[in-house]
Structure 1
Amino acid sequence: MVASGSLLDRPFGRVLATIAQRRFSGELTVSAGGQRGSIVFQDGYVVAATGSHPADSAVKVALGAGLANPTQANAMLRALQDGRDEFEVVAEVARLSPDHVLRLRRRVVANRAMRLFGLTEGDLVVDDVATTAAAPDMVPIDPRVILYQGALAHLDEPRINAELATLGDAFRLRDGVRDGLDAFGFGDAEQPVLDALAAHAVTPPALAQAAPEVEARVSAAVLYALAMWGYAEPAATEARPSAAIAAAVMTG
């Protein structure tokens, strides 16, 4: 074991970022309220994950992605009762190509890793010996994608704001990080938020007003991911004169 602690010690996004930025190889395990999940890292990248939520099973994900129909899904569930590997069963019943199996595996791993953001109380353990093996053909997932999508899917704005408050009151995009933004999976929809953060320091509640064309929850998740990774840094907001003071200055 390398380290242990509580989910209450620091934001989970910061835990994930710290592990990844140290190019850690091993496993992060979280136990909370009867739920248990883990993320396996290889040189800081995500290569495997475990979890018990039904929505994150290979069968459910394949069904949702249109890779299997309900009849096939029922056949898969029956086959899994014998303890077979879930990806092997899905591939066999749905007759998936190796490429489709790989994409399915990466989606399931990402979903299970992201699910850990939704846990609020519990214990975590970091161990440099992983008990969960990564598939030989697994293509590693950039942890920055997990960080952004996990916040977007599983954190509400009040919790995001509370966790950001542990880092600072206002944030702005650090200089020289533009080349690394694509790794988060940002697209055109997030660009107004990035532009606002690059222009000046902004508080989390004010960010939605600075980029009104973007959903507030998306703006909050973008800022969360950037701040936890260290790409958005705490900064003082610019003082803005009141209308009365500005008028007095203008009229002399």
Structure 2
Amino acid sequence: YAVERAEFSYTASARLLCETAGRPAGPDTGGGLVLGDPTGDLPYAGQEADAVRRAFYPRARYLGRSALGEPDGTGTPAELLAWLRDPGGDAGGVLHLACHATVRADRNRTAQLLLRGGSLSAEELTDAVAAVPGRLGLVRLAACRSHVSGRGHDEAFSLATAFLVAGARSVVGSLWPVPDEATSVLMYLIHHHLRVDHMPPARALRQAQLWMIGAVPALPPGLPPELAARARRVDRRDPRNWAAFTHLGH
């Protein structure tokens, strides 16, 4: 695979590439927002999000279903928008969304996150984040087709690029439907390489993908037992388990 030889990052335009390259990394506060399984039908996504928050972002707010303790909300569109529009939140914080996404070519607003009791379009997300400059640093979209646009034949405006347009520094999105079980392992590994190994975002994604294909044999220490058991079940011969995810930004 090409990922064994090189590190890849995608850009929707030269202007967006230049803008994201100039955005500084925010302070590492361990804060942000993690959202997991708001619709109640992605149990592995919920476990993944809960594990990511507990291991790497102890100060982050949590929305959706939680394996331990009470979440800070159920993961409604209003709750997510309120957090994005909060000028008093952690500047440059992480946003991790483990939920459904959809692309509907028959609608004006085509790329959407599916949340508890409703959805949010890429346009609504852009407007919310743009209202508070510097609100986001890293965005991880553990959702199907989160880097696909229903407008035209490329990915120039997708959920992933919407966050870059609104000021995020780095985004990971997917190009096709992704399996809940394998994605939960991949996402945890990405955050491990970001927070523990201090890798830049594109390199952290590649390192996680290298484990998924067997090029890196050992799992990192400290993997929660439920995720370690799930990792042993991942079919490393199947590119659908890892290849959909691409990095955008800086």
Q: Normalising to structure 2: TM-score of the pair?
A: 0.27
Q: Normalising to structure 1: TM-score of the pair?
A: 0.26
Bigger radius of gyration among the two = 1
